[in-house]
Each structure stands twice: as structure tokens, then as C-alpha cells.
Structure 1
Amino acid sequence: MELKISDYQFGERPEVTKPSPEILSVLGESGIRKLIDEHYNLLKLSKFNPLFPQEDEEFEAAKLRSSDFFIQILGGPEYFNKNRGQPKMINRHANFKITKEARTVWLECYQILLPKLDMSEELILSFWNYLNVFSSWMVNSKE
């Protein structure tokens, strides 16, 4: 299974397809939260650590918000909307300088984690395809 990072032009907005809701059925909320926790922990070790909250309490809150978002995207309860309002992720990320390289590192962390999930290749690819396109929308700064 190849989790290839697609190269998009700056400002391009390819169509996003939500991942299969079966992912939530297979992993459960706790599995999604564990995945996001591990993803953030890898990101904290990257050179893009400054994009994330530095205080432990704030960092844990960011993990919670992110896992709430993914649970909602996968068809689960609308935790994110209830706690934060409509996602509007482009606006939420506007204050952070997100480059193509930062996107690549973000995706590389998922390349490490996704194959380890006890989930079919089809479901992993469904999640990957979403992440790959969704992340291109977040790039808001040229190199």
C-alpha cells in the first residue's frame, strides 16, 4: 500500500471526499483519539513544533479539538460543532504560516501511523485520500 503525497499548486482547492464512516465503526472514538494523539506527538518532535501550542494543557486541548473534528468528519457526534462552531478550517488556520513543507511533514506523520492501524487497506486509503486533499487546502503560505 502506497500512501503517496499529492503535489498541488499553491491556492489550488481540489475536491475533497470525506473518508468512509466505517473507519469510526472500526476504530471507535477511542481509536480516533489515539491516532490523533500519536500524530500530534510526532508533530511535536518535528521542526514545525512552533505551529502547535507549547504548554502541555493547551497542546492536549488542541489534540482534543482535532480528534473531535475527525470524529465528526467520520460521521460521529458533532463534538467539534458543539464546542467550537462550524469547522471553517481554512479560517481557523489563517493565523499560522502553513507551507507546502509543513503540509508534507504533517502527512508524513500519518504515513507512519496509518499502516499500523488494525483496519483494511481500503479504509486506510479512504482516510489517507481525505487527509491528502484536505491538507492541501490548509497551505496558506508560499515557501
Structure 2
Amino acid sequence: MELTIKEYPFGERPEVTRPNRDFLKHLGESGIRKLVDDHYELLRESKFNPLFPQDKAEFEAAKLRSSDFFIQALGGPEYYNQNRGAPMLVKRHANFKITREARQVWMQCYQKLLPELKIPEDLIVSYWNYLDVFSSWMVNSED
């Protein structure tokens, strides 16, 4: 399975295609939460750790918000909307300097985790393709 990180010109907003909802059906909410937890733990070890809350409780809350978002994006309950309102992620991330390199590291963490999942490959690729485009929208700094 090839999970390639695509490069997009700065400021380009390619169309986001929702991932196959069967990804959630196979992993369940607990599986999505574990995936996000594992992802955040890898990010915590990266040089981009400062972009994430340093306080343990705030870090755990960030993981919860992220997993709520992905559960909702996969067709699950609207936990994110109920707790945070409409997902305006570009706006919510505007205060953080997110470079192409930061996106690369974010994606590389998923690149490591996704192949470990015991679910059909086509579901992993669908989720990967969603993450690849979705993450490009968060890049807000050229340097």
C-alpha cells in the first residue's frame, strides 16, 4: 500500500472528498480515538511539539476534539458540532504557524500508523486521501 504525501501550491484549496464511512464501521469510535491518540503521541515527540498544548489536561482535550471531529467526518455522531460548533478548522488553526514541513510531519505520523490497522486496504487509502487533501488546507505559512 502506497501512502504518498502530495504537495500542493501554498494557498491552494483542493476539493476535499469525504473518506469511506466504512472506516468508522471497521474501527468503531474507540478505534478512531485510539488512532488519534497514537497520532498525537507521535506528534508530541516531533519537533512540532510546541504547536500542541503542553499541559497534560489541555493535550488530552485536544485529542478528544480531534477524535470528535474525525468521528463526525466519518459519518458518526456530531460530537464536534455539539461541543465546539461548526468545524471552522482553517480559522481555528490561524493562530498557529503551520508550514508545509509541519504538515509533512503530521502526515508522516499517519503514514506510520495507518498500515498497522487491521482493516481493508481500500478503507485506509480512502482515509489517507482525505487526510492528504484536508491537511493541505491547514498550511498557513510559507516558511
TM-score (structure 2 length as normaliser): 0.99
- Find the aligned partners of 2:63 and 2:2 in 1 and give their Cα distance: 26
1:51 Cα offset (Å): 0.2
- Residue 96 of structure 1 corresponds to 96
Alpha-carbon distance in 2 for matches of 1:67, 1:20: 16
CA deviation profile, 1:26-56 (whole Å, cap 9, x unmatched): 0000000000000000000000000000010
Structure 1 spans left out of the alignment, 5+ residues: none
Matched position secondary structure for 1:13:
coil
SS state at 1:103 partner: helix
CA distance in 1, matches of 2:135, 2:35: 17
Q: Which residue of 2 aligns with 1:66?
A: 66
Task: Identify unmatched segments of 5+ residues in structure 2.
Answer: none
Give the corresponding residue for 2:6.
6
Distance 1:31 1:128 in 2: 16
What is aligned with 2:27?
27
Residue of structure 2 equivalent to 1:137:
137
Count of residues in correspondence between the two structures: 143
1:49-88 alignment, distance < 5 Å: 49-88=49-88
TM-score by length of 1: 0.99
RMSD after superposition: 0.3
State the distance in 1 between where 2:119 and 2:38 align.
17
* Poorly superposed stretches of 4+, deviation over 4 Å: none
Alignment-derived partner of residue 107 in structure 2: 107
SS class of match (2:110):
helix
Q: Percent identity?
A: 71
